[in-house]
Structure formats: C-alpha cells, structure tokens
Amino acid sequence: MQHCDTLISAGWCIPVEPHGLVLTDHSVAVRDGRIIDIVPTEEARQKYAVGVLIDRPNHVLIPGLVNAHTHAAMTLLRGLADDLPLQRWLKEAVWPAEARWAGAEMVRDGTRLAIAEMLLSGCTCFSDQYFFPEIVAETAVDLHMRAMVGTPVIEFATAWAKDASECLNKGAELVHDPYAEHSLISTCFVPHSTSTVSDQSFKALRVLADQLDKRVQIHLHESRQEIEDSIVATGKRPFEVLDHLGLVNSSLMAVHAVHLTDKEISRFVEAGVSVAHCPRSNLKLADGIAPIQDLLDAGVVVGLGTDGAASNNVLEMPGEMRTAALLAKAKADNAAALPAAAALRMATIEGAKTLGLDSCTGSIVTGKWADLTCIDMMHLNSQPVYDPISQVVYTVQPHQVRDVWVGGKHQVENGELVHIDKNDILRRTAEWQQQIGGHKDRNSV
C-alpha cells in the first residue's frame, strides 16, 4: 500500500477541472501538502495506508475558494460608513479614517480577522490591496493562508509611505525579501486608480513590474463618476490612460470593470487583461452591474472578489458566487447566463488564473497544493441534492463549510478554526471598535 498523510472521502467531489464534472463517492489523497490522487473511495481504502482519514459522506468537496480582490485590514472599518456613494464614501469616510487609524498594528489585527472569516466560509486564497503589505504577508504566513500580497501605489502620503516613489521602492523590497520563493505568498503591484497615481509614477511602475515580472491590479471603471472625471482631467477614459502609458497587457487585472464599451472589451481580449468581479460591493455603492457574460463570451478571464468589508460588508465567497450568477442573468436578460458551473469556476480556477496561481491552486488536480473546502449538504436549505454544483452555488451558506485545508494543513475542522485563536481575534476587534467608534462619536468620520 502507498502512504498518504490525509485521505478525504466525500459524497461528491467537484474538481472544477474538467469543467462541470461531479465525482460521486470519491476520495482525495494528500501527501506533503499536495494532492497525489483522486480515486473512488472504495479503491482509495485499498490503495493507501492513511495517516488521517476524513470521512464526509454527505458533503461536497470542492477546491478552496479564491478571493481575487479584497482589502483585508478594512474588516476593522466594517459598518463604519454605510449607505454612501463611492466618491463620498472614499473622500468623506474611508480615506480620513485610514489617515487616522491605518498603521502596522491595525493592519495586522484587521488581516487576522479577515483571514479567520474567509477560512470559515471556505476561502483558501486571497488577493490583498492595502497599506503595510509586509504585515499582510507576515500575518498570512502566521495563520497559514495563501495570499497574493499587493504593494499599494498612491501619490499622497500615508502612514506607510510618503509618496508613490517610496511605495514602489518598498514594493521591490517585498518582492525580493523574504517571499521570492515562499509557498504561500506571491506579490504584485496595486496602484489604486488612474486618478490617484500620476503618469510619471505609472511609467516607473511599468518598468519595475516588467523587470520583476510582477502583475498589476488596479480599480478600473468602477463608477461612471470615475470615467467622467478622467475625461475632464485628461480627455481619456481611465482604460485609455493605462493603454497610452503601456500598462495594458497580460499582467494587468482590472478590478470591478463595471462600465466597459465593446471596444474596450475587445482590447481586454487582445491584450490578455483579466477582471476581478466584485458584485456585492458594486451593488452596495450603486456603481452598476458589470457585463460579465459579455466578458466571458469574448474570452476574458474573470475571477470573483469580495472587495473590502467596508463596502461589502462580508468576506464570504459562497454568497458572492450566488450574487454574481443572479446578477449576470439580470444584466444579460438571459436565465442561461453564468450558469452554476461557470460561477463556481469564477470563484476557484478562474480567480486563480487572474492571480497567476492556477498552476498551484484553484482546482482538485494531482500535483497542486491541497487547498480544499468540504461543505455539509445535510442542511434543510440544501436538500434535496439533484445537482451538487447548482446546490453549492445557489443554496450554500457559510455555516455549511465543515472543513478547510490550505496546503494540506487542516485549518477548519467541524466548522471551527483549528490553529487560530478566535477569542483573541474577537478581543482585539472589540478594542479597535472602542477606539474607532469612540473617535467617531466625537468627530464624524
């Protein structure tokens, strides 16, 4: 018999690759953190000498969900400034609050809260855009979470950097030390938007990203106001600005991409630009509904993100999947738009592709890291199970997540965090609430 560290047996296994496949009564064998086999359970029990056996007969085993865009530390600003349009939300609420509170300690505590929340809802990988990215990376390593850590680039001074030039210098350091070969941490550059980064800084960013072979993520065409302001200031739409500066290529991920012309979608395809779709954030800020089916029909790679907890207000991916599927149907006026299997791909392998991580995560394939999520279907809202993929997308709630593994490490077991002190996170969060909330009472955010 061959040895495996962990054998996970499930009633249904949805590997995502091949597309739409559902395997009944199958097991996934894990050794040294990686998937080594996917076989029928009866065969697996005869084939492997098992270190740990996880038997989940009424569960669905899927790849760990990939959150393609968030701002993890902003969990500590959750609910601070709700029901405002994007520009007022940023200028009157979020940026002043960040100027007052964003520091290394806040980022560490907010990121811990975010990671715990994401793990409990089945997410095993997230892409982050926030200040103090070195703290985000340290925290992800400490809590054993896969992360694409972005270096923010913005012109105005923050507690982390005095200008865009210092942002870029610090980002180059983060790439080289100590995460160049880390199994959990990848890095990229995340300029905030075309309105907050100068042409000169974009040119410097392009050179640096090319030299370091790093991806670039940017908020793009999130709102009509953003586009109108850009036309007034530059005579160009934001995407045209980036194209003119040489940023439009296969390393670019456009976050939101709500308002696109047919010509812009064609240029996305031509250049290989990918998209991070954040449907609930777009709804909450009244930014519009992205043309997801048009993007998919054209061949654009689209992943799924929650955005930050200050504008969502939760970081759970099952609900994001369901919202994305429903919105796509309404936008396309077509009930067949973004079917369940495609929505699940957006939350797994397609999200991994937008981050350049699809060779190591995003599907249940031999050789990939064992980033896995097991979902209990024995809940009233998910019964009966005719089509496991449809049930996962349209019915599953976060509390149904039973087990989560990141790189083979059992991070959630029986619905509880295994290696993370939930009570300590709650205590620290309450302390921040008292600080930030007390300040808000005295001075409006």
pLDDT in tens, the chain (445 residues): 899 999 999 999 999 999 999 999 999 999 999 999 999 999 999 999 999 999 999 999 999 999 999 999 999 999 988 998 888 888 898 889 888 999 999 999 999 999 999 999 999 999 999 999 999 999 999 999 999 999 999 999 999 999 999 999 999 988 776 788 899 999 999 999 999 999 999 999 999 999 999 999 999 999 999 999 999 999 999 999 999 999 999 999 999 999 999 999 999 999 999 999 999 999 999 999 999 999 999 999 999 999 999 999 999 999 999 999 999 999 999 999 999 999 999 999 999 999 999 999 999 999 999 999 999 999 999 999 999 999 999 999 999 999 999 999 999 999 999 999 999 999 999 999 999 987 655 444 4
Domain with CATH 3.20.20.140 in the chain: 65-354
Query: What's the sign of the alpha-carbon dihedral 246, 126, 287, 195?
Result: negative
Strands 23-31 and 2-13: antiparallel
Q: Which of 305, 408, 400 is nearest to 348 (CA)?
A: 305
Spatial strand order of the sheet with 146-153 comes to 65-70, 123-129, 146-153, 185-191, 216-220, 252-256, 274-277, 302-304
In the chain, CATH 2.30.40.10 covers 2-63+371-414
| Rounded Cα distance, 111 and 24, in Å | 37
Whole-model pTM: value is 0.97
Q: Are 26 and 18 in contact (CB under 8 A)?
A: no
Helical (H) or strand (E) element with 87: helix 86-88
CB burial of residue 339 (10 Å; 0-12, 13-18, 19+): middle
Report the relative pairing of strands 401-406 and 274-277 from DSSP bridges: unpaired
φ/ψ of 414, rounded to 5, equals: 55, 35
User: What DSSP character marks residue 247?
Assistant: -
Q: How far is CA 291 from CA 113, 195, 237, 438, in A?
A: 32, 23, 18, 41
Which overall architecture, per CATH, does domain 2-63+371-414 show? Roll (2.30)
Our CA angle for 186, 191, 193, nearest 5°, is 140
Contact 29, 36 (CB under 8 A): yes
Is residue 147 within 8 Å of 444, Cβ to Cβ? no
Q: Where are the alpha helices (DSSP H) in 104-197?
A: 104-120, 133-142, 164-176
CATH of domain 65-354: 3.20.20.140
